[in-house]
Amino acid sequence: MNNLIAEIQSYPFERLRKLISLKKSPAEINLSIGEPKHPASPKILDAINQNKELFSHYPPMAMVPELKKSYQNYLANNFNLKNVKDEEIFLVGGTREGTFSAIQTMVNREAVSEKPYVCMPNPYYQIYGGATLFAGAKPHFLNCSEKNNFQMDLENVAQEVWEKCQLLVLCSPSNPTGKVMTKDELCKVVKLSKEFGFKVLSDECYIDIYFGEKPTSLLEAAMEVNGSLENVLALHSLSKRSNLPGFRSGCATGDASIIAAFSKYRMFHGVSVPLPIQNASTLAWADDKTVEDNRAAYAEKFKLAEEILDKDSLTPDGAFYLWLKVKDAEAFTKKLYDEEQVIVLPGKYLGAEDNGQNPAEQYLRIALVHDIESTTKALTSIKKVLDNE
């Protein structure tokens, strides 16, 4: 057995199942998983049926030309990246697979005598940590706590950390806090990358879900600072943008040399995206109406949360998670399930203990992905348990 498997902590949902002794009931409302429940575009789903005969063919690892063009148009229209070359983009099976594969590709274990650092926010999407261990590197956590408004404090990272860092992983808008990195912060990251020689991987699967100013992509910051995509890679997905989590369809954009190595790695490891899904994805990258409807629907649910929970400022910068502070997150989660059959996720399961503290210890991640009726019912249940804390 691979010895590294023992080093990886249990996945959050496995820990959640053990906590609440999950017994599925018809009345259950699950707000623990970031799986969009909004309807996907019928036109996009119809495209699957229209091309179903293509399931009888092995799909190529590379994206079909029509999909490549549609995604390039998405980059141009959303991030003003009008000249992204073919060799700077690649197809991935969603950002989960893409993130894992990218970290394997971008870490060079043989370049140093001791394990290099992969720096990442804390709390974080757990794939970052697991992928880092499998790559032979060491996760170094940049705590995003309440005292620094859940942002990475780049100014106070020690120089020796940057010197050991081979890769910095970003997630903006953040899973789980919903915080968005500003353009200035992203430009700072690019400058640090240039100064210390590390690469930057940006998980941007939530970048189309926002409630104020449109988030900046790492790609935009790289073009502004470097005039190129040198040493950076960004991942985009249709799961959240288009309500298509089952497609497992996404794209990577960045430094051509990283893309070339990434492509070679995935030839041996990755699963190619089926042709009917590639064809439907072509339509999804061009579909802005669904995204606009999503933003409006999520905004309505966050407003509802503020009203029902009687709390201000619950709406995040982006993504669709309510990041709610409670006295004891595990006890609250268990009580909410036992008494109300509503499932949420303790934030500590998405964080790591660093210097004796987990910055997500007192928080719940609540995915507002259901319809208004279910969301209202769930929030009312949460309020009931909050009032009895």
Cα 116 from Cα 122, distance rounded (Å):
18
> What proportion of the chain, given as a percentage, has pLDDT over 70?
99
Q: Which two tokens stand for residue 278?
A: 């590639």
Q: What is the mean pLDDT of the chain?
A: 95
**What's the predicted TM-score (pTM) here?**
0.96
Cα–Cα nearest to 233, from 269, 273, 260, 267: 260
pLDDT at 109 over 90: no
Of 18-32, 49-63, 372-386, the one with minimum mean pLDDT is 18-32
Backbone angles phi, psi at 362, to 5 degrees: -100, 20
What per-residue confidence (pLDDT) applies to 170?
99
What per-residue confidence (pLDDT) applies to 113?
74
Average pLDDT of the residues in 126-151: 95
What per-residue confidence (pLDDT) applies to 203?
99
Q: How confident is the model at residue 27 (pLDDT cuts 50, 70, 90)?
A: low
pLDDT at 10 over 90: no
pLDDT at 97 over 90: yes
Cα 288 from Cα 339, distance rounded (Å):
40
- The amino acid present at 128, given as its one-letter code, is Y
pLDDT at 24 over 70: no
Q: Which two tokens stand for residue 251?
A: 């794209």
What structural domains does the chain harbor? 3-40+289-387 (3.90.1150.10), 43-287 (3.40.640.10)
Cα 176 from Cα 351, distance rounded (Å):
10
159: how many CB neighbours lie within 10 A of its CB?
9
Average pLDDT of the residues in 57-84: 96
> Which is more confident, 312 or 278?
278
What per-residue confidence (pLDDT) applies to 26?
67
User: Residue 40: CB partners within 8 Å, gap ≥ 6?
Assistant: 242, 243, 244, 290
What per-residue confidence (pLDDT) applies to 3?
85
Cα 387 from Cα 31, distance rounded (Å):
19
Instruction: Write the pLDDT tens digit of every residue in 165-205.
Output: 999 999 999 999 999 999 999 999 999 999 999 999 999 99
Instruction: Write the pLDDT tens digit of every residue in 211-254.
Output: 999 999 999 999 999 999 999 999 999 999 999 999 999 999 99
